[in-house]
Structure 1
Amino acid sequence: MPNPYDRLAELGLSLLTPATPIANYVPSTRVGNLLYLSGQGPRDADGRLMIGKVGRDIGIEDAYAHARLTGLNLLSVAHQVLGDLGRIVQTVKLLGMVNAVPDFADHPAVINGCSDLFVDVLGAAGRHARSAVGMGSLPGGISVEIEAIFEISGAAL
């Protein structure tokens, strides 16, 4: 497996400060060797959220970039919880939600932004099962929200 921090640097990316939960939930929960991450949205390093409805306000290319940014936020949460992204044995599953107009039908192309980032950073451990679905709205009007499940190694958190 490639060193995820070296891969991030090669891609010109830096981990971000994870967002504070906006409601009554925790950012992650561990059950055995599985780490469940709560849904994250496309928040940049300055804390700005990418908002808009895909198919009306945002095209597929920009939505793909938003999903990639969301993936970076997920990796940032995993790093904060685990202390080392190298503890990720496998990305088990992603649930990608796209804030889209009713007739938008290319949700997988949007969520590929996150999937591609995980493979780029984690190598084979980044490959995963996935659902990519459309939503009528998402919190704060964000364009995408993605949650993740990772298999992890090492002692309890």
Structure 2
Amino acid sequence: MSDIERRLQALGLVLPPPFPVPAHLSLPFDVVQVDGLRVLASGHGPQAADGSLAEPFGKVGADLTLEQGYHAARLVALSMLASIQRAIGDLDRVRRWHRVFGMVNSAPGFAQQPGVINGFSDLILELYGPERGAHTRSAVGMAELPFHMPVEIEAELSLHP
């Protein structure tokens, strides 16, 4: 068991299985792309323990509170970590998180997107520490997100040689 897996277990957190893509939906892109030591993770949404999209759905600031948005972003981190683990095998191979782009399905007038995306950043920092987990970041509001998800996040990281 890797160090990151032990940390997840100590926190009582479980990585979800792959998202079960509905038959009517086509996703013609890589969920995670590994190019040498560079890893790009496509936009991920919050997943439940069974791999389905996690509820609640809707706009933060109307349908969801800031705290619910924060929790959704934390679930996105678990979803992304699971996808990365499937692509690289061992989460300890991650040398450094570089860039995180967080999108929040925002109600008109909601301007606390950084507080929502902190759910993702806080978990990555808790797991990887400030040396490996600190990253650059954007947190922006969107009028809509796919499937009415409250949060979608993409990232870039690098691996140990």
Structure-2-length-normalised TM-score: 0.90
**Cα shift at 1:18:** 2.3
Runs of 4 or more above 3 Å deviation: none
Alpha-carbon contact 1:37-1:148 (below 8 Å) kept? yes
- Map 1:1-157 → 2, pairs under 5 A: 3-20=3-20, 22-46=26-50, 47-50=52-55, 51-124=57-130, 125-154=132-161
Mark the runs of 5 or more structure 1 residues left unpaired by the alignment. none
Larger CA deviation: 111-120 vs 16-25: 16-25
Alpha-carbon contact 1:3-1:122 (below 8 Å) kept? no
Aligned residues: 153
String of CA shifts for 1:30-59, please: whole Å, max 9, x gaps: 233110001100111121333110010000
**Cα shift at 1:20:** 5.0
**Cα shift at 1:16:** 1.2
Tell me which amino acid in the other structure corresponds to 1:145.
Answer: E
Q: Percent identity?
A: 40
Structure-1-length-normalised TM-score: 0.92
Tell me which amino acid in the other structure corresponds to 2:116.
Answer: V
Secondary structure in 2 aligned to 1:89? strand
Alpha-carbon contact 2:105-2:149 (below 8 Å) kept? yes
Alpha-carbon contact 2:72-2:150 (below 8 Å) kept? yes
Rounded to whole Å, the distance in 2 between the matches of 1:92 and 1:57 is: 31
Q: CA RMSD in A?
A: 1.5
Rounded to whole Å, the distance in 2 between the matches of 1:90 and 1:62 is: 28
Rounded to whole Å, the distance in 1 between the matches of 2:70 and 2:115 is: 7
Secondary structure in 1 aligned to 2:137? strand
